[in-house]
Amino acid sequence: MCKKGIMKIIKVLILMFVTFQAFAGELVLKTISLGPLNLTKETVVSVKILNELFPKYEINHEIRSGDSPDYHYFNVSDSKGSLFSVISYIETPEQFKSSEGKINLLELNTSRIPDQYGIRIGDKFLEIRKKRKDKLEFGAGHFNNNIGGNNIYYSFSLEPTGYFKEIGINYADPVSAKESDAKKQNPEITTISWPYPAWE
């Protein structure tokens, strides 16, 4: 084979490698974006907008309710399952008629999407402290705890101790839990969210 032919094959292989890398690492949660989706508190999403930004994924929308105000729930998924979801709270009667709203909370639902620090769902708590050197806040949710800062937060569940364990409750009291408990138990990250901790 001539030198020109070899060089052509090398170029094709490089192009294939670059394309594969771009596909595999397409979505990364950053403090300001998730792939082509810019993340600000003024960013508006809808099925149409998400379809335009993520044409190869399936977009679903529904209105949900819970302890919080009712909200628009957008789920982005592929053949392997949910990738991420967006919550937009409904604050006026007019918003019930609309299928769009500002992003109040974005949650990753898969380990296939890392954040900008290289942290994924399923990683252990100590990985957060290893990879993030910025100031982090430790907090409590309904049934779990969280830690994070700079718009990216991680949720996890701790094993019960003391009174909770004695009475048979299968999760730790989030309010009384401390970061030292998380360091000792080193639980798995169950959710990564923007720009606040997921309320679970």
| Apex 152 CA angle, 195 and 33, nearest 5 | 75
pLDDT > 70 in the chain, percent? 85
**Does residue 24 surpass a pLDDT of 50?**
no
What pLDDT does 31 receive?
97
Give the burial class of 199: count Cβ atoms within 10 A of its Cβ; 0-12 exposed, 13-18 middle, 19 or more buried.
middle
What pLDDT does 146 receive?
98
| Positive/negative CA dihedral, 18, 21, 23, 26 | negative
Which pLDDT band, with edges at 50, 70 and 90, does 48 fall under? very high
- What is the phi/psi pair of residue 41, to 5°? -75, -5
Give the global pTM. Answer: 0.82
Q: Match domain 30-194 to its CATH number in 2.60.460.10, 3.30.160.20, 3.30.9.100, 3.40.1410.10.
A: 2.60.460.10
Rounded average pLDDT over 80-107: 90
Q: What is the mean pLDDT of the chain?
A: 86
Rounded to whole angstroms, what are the CA distances from 24 to 16, 58, 84, 132, 173?
Answer: 12, 18, 16, 23, 38
CB atoms within 10 A of CB 24: 9
Query: Residue 54: which of 33, 73, 32, 30 has the closest Cα?
Result: 33
| Apex 21 CA angle, 20 and 23, nearest 5 | 65
Token pair for 144: 């779990």
**Does residue 61 surpass a pLDDT of 50?**
yes
The domain segmentation of the chain, as residue ranges, is 30-194
Rounded average pLDDT over 34-61: 96
pLDDT > 90 in the chain, percent? 68
